Amino acid sequence: MVGILREADKNPMAQVAKRHGVSEQTIYT
């Protein structure tokens, strides 16, 4: 999860969420 958050700092949230198979809302919570 930490890796996803770090990646989201560098890339668009929608792109990161799609790549990891989670929703954008999951990343925000």
Q: pLDDT tens digits, residue range 8-23?
A: 899 999 999 999 999 9
Indicate if the pLDDT at residue 29 is higher than 80. Answer: no
Residue 4, pLDDT score? 87
pLDDT of residue 26: 87
The answer to whether residues 4 and 20 touch, using CB atoms and an 8 Å cutoff, is: yes
Residue 1 binned pLDDT confidence (cut-offs 50, 70, 90): confident
Instruction: Indicate the pTM of the whole model.
Output: 0.64
Residue with more model confidence, 11 or 27? 11
Give the number of C-alpha atoms closer than 13 A to the C-alpha of residue 22, restricted to the C-beta side: 14
